[in-house]
Amino acid sequence: MGWRGILGFEYGIVQAPLGADISGPELVAAVANAGGLGFLRAPDWESPDYLKELIRKTRSLTKKPFGVGVVLAFPHEKNIQAILDEKVAVLQVYWGECSEELVLKAHQSGVKIVPQVGSLEEAKKAIHAGVDAIIVQGHEAGGHVIGQDALISLLPKVVDLVGDRDIPLIAAGGIVDARGYVAALALGAQGICLGTRFLATEESHAHPAYKRKVVEYDATEYTDVFGRARWPDAPHRVLHTPFFNDCKYIPADQNEAGQPVIGCAIIHDREIEIHRLAGVVPNATTTGDIESMVMYAGQSVGLIKEILPAGEVVKRLVEGAQLLIKNKFSDIL
């Protein structure tokens, strides 16, 4: 029932692809080794050889299946070809059309395809395209947020839409512990997808200061102030840091392009300069004014109290959900 066996993985726990370069081989392998499904994140530019290296490095750390996430708003055709050539278990796509053609191409390579959607309309298109599962993202989610509806209202609508088709639904947005897991199962999901919780793990490639802030802070805001030039019309949920508070009312015609450089980082295979108001979260290589960089996080951030090994996150979710159902709900009937 429910929590085992989505897409053949041991548990219905999914670690979201975390951009720009936060979910690397170490995190993905740790999640896979613990029985979950972890996603690498492809670069936002074509770099198929680098991506193949990333996949192979992950394979050297785990014998279990894993996936790669691709943001379709950026150049991606060669990257997708590399993912299909490498025959990873699952291709996750977001922010763009998951077409029938793409689904067919993935299936011809033996790769399952799972879009993340934020509305009923997007879910309808995904079902029509023939996808293998759907990640339903609620407005509570950290990072880029494509829809307006909260998970508690959107997910049951998608459940009803899917009906008796064999398309597992995976709930994303504001889930960080066993309570959220059980709530998602009650709403009709077969699995859960967590971003912020896996960001604050030992194996994530986030900058240590960013991980610490995920533990310390408890408020987020939905905004569009970061990365407007590079990725327009792409609202996101961020930690409510003092820096964000200072810059949240910048006029609509301003963006990172005219701002000073405040740091630099290696993002995948590129060394980049980070401008003030850029949409690039600090990773382990980032130097400069870290406090003034965007930090994506979901609404349940205040429930995260410690940085844990990723395997421990998976274990606590599974065991906690089992206990919760046994102790709290088995007596009701």
State which of positions 222-261 bind ligand FMN (CB under 6 A). Answer: none
Judged by CB under 6 A, does residue 16 bind ligand FMN?
yes
Judged by CB under 6 A, does residue 29 bind ligand FMN?
no
* Nearer to ligand FMN (CB atom), residue 158 or residue 175: 175
Q: For the CB of residue 141, give the shortest distance to ligand FMN in the complex, in Å.
A: 3
Q: For the CB of residue 197, give the shortest distance to ligand FMN in the complex, in Å.
A: 6
Judged by CB under 6 A, does residue 265 bind ligand FMN?
no
Q: What are φ and ψ of residue 20, in 5° steps?
A: -75, -35
Give me the 276-295 binding string for ligand FMN, x by CB under 6 A, dash otherwise: -----x--------------
Q: For the CB of residue 16, give the shortest distance to ligand FMN in the complex, in Å.
A: 3
Helices and strands in the chain: count of H runs, count of E runs: 11, 14
Binding ligand FMN (rule: CB under 6 A), the pick from 90, 106, 199, 308 is 199
β-pairing verdict for 169-172 and 134-137: parallel
Single out the segment in contact with ligand FMN by CB under 6 A; choices: 14-22, 157-165, 282-290, 308-316.
Answer: 14-22
For helices 120-129 and 151-162, angle between their N-to-C axes, nearest 10 degrees: 30
Q: Which residue type sits at 187?
A: L
Q: Which residues contact 249 (CB under 8 A, 6 or more apart)?
A: none
Judged by CB under 6 A, does residue 195 bind ligand FMN?
yes
For helices 310-324 and 25-33, angle between their N-to-C axes, nearest 10 degrees: 40
**Which 3 state secondary structure label does DSSP give 291?**
helix
CB 88 within 8 Å of CB 113: no
* Nearer to ligand FMN (CB atom), residue 48 or residue 298: 298
First to last CA, the chain: 17
Judged by CB under 6 A, does residue 111 bind ligand FMN?
no
Binding ligand FMN (rule: CB under 6 A), the pick from 143, 147, 227, 279 is 143
Buried b / exposed e across 140-154, counting CB within 10 Å, b at 16+? bbbbbbbbebebbeb
Paired strand residues for 94: 71
Residue ranges in contact with ligand FMN by CB under 6 A = 16-19, 22, 41, 69, 71, 94, 116, 137, 140-143, 172-175, 193-197, 199, 281, 296-298, 300
